[in-house]
């Protein structure tokens, strides 16, 4: 049972929040299946762009590529509704903007060593602290109707509550800064950063986002293994040489050929 002192108070996020639309409407729950499910229902009912759904725990949190997302107390599990005037093929760019905003928020608030692993895991001292799952609904003709971006941050999560198999590869902000963090202050700062990068993307295009994203990634120039989900689960190994204007990762394979991967999971074997 979650004690009252430990729950997120939306009013504390909204007070003094300097955004035009992100976080102006916040729905807070103690437990849901997945905040993405609730956000999707709200979007279908016509919720405003920028609406946030937060839950203290999720009973069926999901990660990318059909994985389960472990969502115990103390974390920040939330979804954001966006309605960009973009085509479906450009949706990954949103996730680049979100991971960049997340990395910048952690750096500004805690001065930690933050890296983004393609496509959008945020790592602190080489361990995952945040994951993003973007799901969308589209109109006919390939335009996006709405996007639900689900973001999971191991904020004050106690790592002992994670399955043993995960403990080596994940961390929490609490573990890194050696104290509980204010989840409301963190969300306020993140919403402001996120609106800034979302506006940059929608008004000025992907180039600036990609430039800043590249300055924070650990993936480029490293020797990596990628499980590509473009067609079937297929492992490829090689040197990550670039991310192109669509957000695809370009890998130089050992035989010298270049492989383009749009969607997958990367692990860094040798960092350069």
Q: Which residues bind ligand BTN (CB under 6 A)?
A: 34-36, 58, 61-64, 67, 69, 71, 77-79, 121, 131-133, 150-152
**Nearer to ligand BTN by C-beta: 16 or 66?**
66
Query: How far is Cα 158 from Cα 144, in angstroms, rounded to an integer?
Result: 37
Q: How far is the CB of 36 from ligand BTN (least distance, A)?
A: 4
Residue closer to ligand BTN (CB basis): 132 or 181: 132
Q: How far is the CB of 141 from ligand BTN (least distance, A)?
A: 28
CB of 146 to ligand BTN, least distance (A): 15
Please say whether the beta carbons of 262 and 245 come within 8 A: no
Q: In angstroms, what CA-CA distances link 1 with 4, 5, 31, 210, 218?
A: 9, 12, 11, 42, 38
Order of strands, sheet of 223-228, starting from the edge strand that comes earlier in the sequence? 258-261, 249-253, 234-243, 223-228, 264-270
- Minimum CB distance to ligand BTN, residue 47 (Å): 16
Distance of CA 260 to the CA centre of its chain: 22
Of residues 102 and 251, the one with the C-beta less far from ligand BTN:
102
Tokens 């609106």: give the residue: 195
- When the beta carbons of 23 and 61 are compared against ligand BTN, the nearer one is 61
């Amino acid at each position: 049972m979650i004690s009252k002192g430990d729950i997120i108070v939306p009013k504390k996020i909204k007070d003094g929040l300097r955004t035009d639309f992100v976080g102006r409407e916040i729905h807070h729950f103690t437990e849901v299946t997945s905040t993405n499910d609730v956000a999707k229902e709200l979007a279908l009912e016509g919720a405003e762009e920028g609406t946030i759904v937060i839950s203290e725990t999720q009973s069926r949190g999901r990660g990318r590529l059909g994985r389960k997302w472990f969502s115990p107390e103390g974390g920040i599990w939330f979804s954001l509704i966006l309605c960009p005037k973009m085509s479906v093929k450009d949706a990954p760019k949103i996730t680049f903007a979100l991971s960049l905003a997340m990395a910048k928020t952690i750096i500004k608030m805690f001065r930690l060593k933050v890296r983004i692993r393609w496509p959008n895991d945020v790592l602190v001292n080489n361990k995952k602290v945040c994951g993003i799952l973007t799901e969308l609904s589209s109109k006919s003709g390939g335009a996006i109707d709405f996007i639900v971006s689900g973001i999971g941050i191991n904020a004050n999560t106690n790592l002992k509550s994670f399955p043993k198999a995960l403990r080596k590869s994940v961390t929490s902000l609490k573990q890194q800064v050696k104290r509980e963090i204010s989840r409301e202050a963190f969300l306020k700062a993140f919403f402001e950063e996120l609106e800034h990068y979302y506006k940059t993307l929608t008004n000025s295009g992907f180039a600036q986002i990609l430039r800043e994203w590249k300055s924070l990634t650990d993936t480029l120039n490293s020797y990596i293994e990628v499980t590509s989900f473009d067609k079937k689960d297929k492992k490829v190994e090689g040197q990550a040489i670039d991310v192109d204007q669509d957000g695809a990762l370009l890998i130089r394979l050992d035989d010298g050929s270049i492989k383009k991967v749009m969607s997958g999971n990367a692990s860094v074997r040798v960092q350069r």
